């Protein structure tokens, strides 16, 4: 069963595990399990996803319990009324804190890809980051005898697709486990040494106006067990 973080008569927030698609995708035709389907069966009613989380990303995922609430939540995301906090493990040692202001081309959705549409327009994209911890491990990768890693808190100000993954690659500190924007050698070595093979990115907090009462919803989600275990194995404290 999916872990429910918050639920009322209008919406529900779950902890989506890594590796679970939000909904059916033609790009992952072999997959048979989806968060929408699992939550619908668990609650015994239809649910309406308000935003996206990549398949490999774990953490908070919101659904409306009616089409109208689903749309209202989606509009809050589009209007940048939702403050989101993510945690990630990245390669290297980024600055202790900073802002990435780097425009990104809009990535096409499935229907646009199927129709062979041209690449989307360039859109402003901003991410704030803070380095929480760092380590150097005696693991030889490529030409380097040791490897450096950092635990990061990431705050996407804008909401572009794959924004955090693309921004961390842009500053040369890709997220560990990212098969698209990272480096295979590093991902494989990390998984080999620590026994966990996943994208180390999780949505751990959201703050947004309730779509009906307009009161502030402050949602928190603990990191997945395997994510927390790796953090501890690297000698770091698991973020609260």
Annotated catalytic sites, by residue? 54
HSE-CB of 36 using CA atoms within 13 angstroms: 17
Residue 61, φ and ψ in degrees, nearest 5: -140, 125
Instruction: Look at residue 238 and give its three-state secondary structure.
Output: coil
Kind plus residue range of the DSSP H or E element containing 78 = helix 67-78
Q: How far apart are CA 95 and CA 92, in angstroms?
A: 10
- Residue 69 vs residues 10, 38, 72, 125, 173: alpha-carbon distances, Å: 7, 19, 5, 27, 37
């Amino acid at each position: 069963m999916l872990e429910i973080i918050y639920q009322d008569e209008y919406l529900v927030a779950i902890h989506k595990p890594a590796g679970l698609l939000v909904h059916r995708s033609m790009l992952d035709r072999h997959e048979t399990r989806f968060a929408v389907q699992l939550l619908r069966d668990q609650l015994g009613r239809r649910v309406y996803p308000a935003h996206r989380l990549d398949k490999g990303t774990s953490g908070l995922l919101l659904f409306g319990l009616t089409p109208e609430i689903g749309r209202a939540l989606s509009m809050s995301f589009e209007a940048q009324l939702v403050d989101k906090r993510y945690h990630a493990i990245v390669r290297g040692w980024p600055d202790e804190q900073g802002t990435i202001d780097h425009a990104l081309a809009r990535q096409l959705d499935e229907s646009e890809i199927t129709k062979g549409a041209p690449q989307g327009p360039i859109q402003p994209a901003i991410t704030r980051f803070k380095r929480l911890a760092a380590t150097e491990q005696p693991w030889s990768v490529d030409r380097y005898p040791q490897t450096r890693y950092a635990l990061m808190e990431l705050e996407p100000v804008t909401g572009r697709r794959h924004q955090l993954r693309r921004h961390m690659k842009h500053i040369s500190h890709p997220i560990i486990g990212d098969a698209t924007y990272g480096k295979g050698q590093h991902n494989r070595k990390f998984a080999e040494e620590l026994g966990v093979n996943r994208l180390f990115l999780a949505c751990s907090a959201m703050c947004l106006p309730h779509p009906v009462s307009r009161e502030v919803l402050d949602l928190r989600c603990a990191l997945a067990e395997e994510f927390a275990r790796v953090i501890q194995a690297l000698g770091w404290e698991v973020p609260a």
